[in-house]
Structure 1
Amino acid sequence: MEHLIASWIVQVWQNRKLGEYAPAWGPGEDHSPNSLFAAAMLQGGFSLQIPEPELYYKVLRKHHVKIHPRRGVKILGLWYHAEGLDEPRYRLPSDRGGKHAGKWVIRSDRRDRRQVFFQDPVVHDTWHVLRWNGLPPEGEIPAFSDTTAANLLAYVKEHKLGPRSDKDLLPVLLEILNSVTPVSQWPTQPQKRERAARSRESSRAQAAAADRGGHRAAQPAPWSEQSRTVAKAVDATRRQRGETAQLGEPVAPPLLVDSLRHRRLFLLPDRPDEDGDDTLSEEHG
Structure 2
Amino acid sequence: MEQGGFDLDFPEPSFYYKVLRKHHVKIHPRRGVKILGLWYHHPVLDEPRFQQPSARGGKHAGKWVVRSDRRDRRQVFFQDPADHETWHILRWRGLPPEGEIPAFSDKTADALLTRVKANNIRIYSESELLEHLLGILGSVTPVDQWPSQAKKKAGKKQRVAQAREITRAQAAAADRPPPHQPSRMSRLRLRCPRPGPSTPARSTTRSMPTAVDDAKKPSPTSSPWPRQRCTRP
TM-score, normalised to structure 1, is: 0.57
Matched to 1:208, the amino acid is A
Q: Extract structure 1 runs of 4+ deviating beyond 3 A.
A: 189-192
Quote the offset at 1:140 in angstroms: 2.5
Tell me which structure has the larger Cα radius of gyration: 1
Quote the offset at 1:213 in angstroms: 2.8
1:131-170 deviation digits (Å, cap 9, x = unpaired): 0000114642000000000000001101111111211101
Matched to 2:160, the amino acid is A
Change (3 A) 1:94 1:167: same
Distance 1:172 1:89 in 2: 35
Q: Give 1:74's aligned residue.
A: 34
Q: Does 1:50 align with 2:10?
A: yes
RMSD: 2.2
Q: Give 2:161's aligned residue.
A: 197
Quote the offset at 1:194 in angstroms: 2.4
Is this contact kept in 1: 2:78–2:88, CA < 8 A?
Answer: yes
> 2:17 aligns to what SS in structure 1?
helix
Picking from 117, 123, 136, the partner of 1:176 is 136
Change (3 A) 1:210 1:139: closer
Greater helix proportion: 1
Q: Give 1:134's aligned residue.
A: 94
Matched to 1:55, the amino acid is F
> 1:52 aligns to what SS in structure 2?
coil
1:19-62 deviation digits (Å, cap 9, x = unpaired): xxxxxxxxxxxxxxxxxxxxxx4144111222111000000000
Distance 1:214 1:70 in 2: 28
TM-score, normalised to structure 2, is: 0.69
Distance 1:201 1:193 in 2: 13
Q: Which runs of 5+ in 1 are unaligned?
A: 1-40, 180-184, 216-285
1:253-274 deviation digits (Å, cap 9, x = unpaired): xxxxxxxxxxxxxxxxxxxxxx
Quote the offset at 1:187 in angstroms: 4.6
Identity of aligned residues (%): 68
Picking from 156, 168, 173, the partner of 1:209 is 173
Distance 1:203 1:136 in 2: 21
